[in-house]
Amino acid sequence: MSKVWFITGAGRGMGVDIARAALAAGDAVVATGRNTDTVSKALGFGNNLLVVKLDVTSPEDAQKAVKAAVDRFGHIDVLVNNAGNFFAGFFEEITPQDFRAQVETLFFGPINVTRAVLPVMRSQRSGLVVTISSTAGIRGGEFTSAYAASKFGVEGWMESLTPEVAPFGIRTMLVEPGFFRTELLTPESTNFAEPTIEDYAEKTRQTVTTWKGMNGLQGGDPAKLAKALLQLVSQDEPPLRWPAGADAVEEFEKKGQLLLAQANAYRELSSSLAHDDPNS
């Protein structure tokens, strides 16, 4: 049976490829974005396509968009929390306003949309919530403190949500892409912190130059990711986490090894902290 997809950030980048793949499979798509003209230009028009305005930082927008989706198609089977941007820079140089803006989009954005969609999925006793995270949600790194903090938050929230909604036939899936040839590193999506501290100046210049040079040369193909995602969504038990790309698999392995090493480093000390019970 055909599914109804609700995709955020469907006007550019990975969201466009996911929407196209779903439409090509014969599914219906609710494609949302802050600028509906951009979404329509990317995806065109069709009976199985509904374009709706949605700024994910607005709970009101989320409620209106979900209502429009249900009014048109009757239900929502797959939510894809995809909308995103990137505030890059060393922590001391990212302004508090930009740090909060990053968290508002990448963390509270999916929360707003999922909060609006879950009542629909609960009433139909089925659904899948897919949230596009990142390998930065698995391993943090320099120059990504705001981005990684947001993605780490998404990871913990989704992992905790999973058992809460499972009794209602709702499943969740986190997708952690590595480097894909999307528009994330373009000026439209990436905001580099203004250099203000001399101690960071040279490393900032090097990092910005490197990242700008990567734009358009990333190894991952977002169209292939979209097709693979359709394959996973069709399974009865989709994975709770899916590393997308060989580089993402490598990051998972590195983090797993690091956690095991940290667990063992002070095992005796860590295990010696229980109360001394004289009755035992």
Q: Which of 39, 145, 63 is nearest to 102 (CA)?
A: 145
Strand ranges for 108-259 from DSSP E: 127-132, 170-177, 190-192, 241-244
Helix (H, G, I), strand (E, B) or coil at 154: helix
Cβ pair 78, 130 in contact under 8 A: yes
- H or E stretch at 31: strand 28-33
Tokens 């989009």 found at: 105
- CA 3 to chain CA centroid, Å, is 21
Q: Please tell me whether residue 173 adopts helix, strand or coil conformation.
A: strand
**Nearest-angstrom CA–CA distance, 121 and 17:** 24
Per DSSP, the residues of 43-106 read: H---TTEEEEE--TT-HHHHHHHHHHHHHHHS---EEEE----EEEB-GGGS-HHHHHHHHIII
The whole-angstrom separation of Cα 35 and Cα 28 is: 20
CB-count exposure of residue 114 (10 Å: 0-12, 13-18, 19+): buried
Could you give the residue numbers annotated as active site?
133, 147, 151
The amino acid at residue 166 is A
> Among 23, 25, 20, 100, which Cα is nearest to 57's?
100
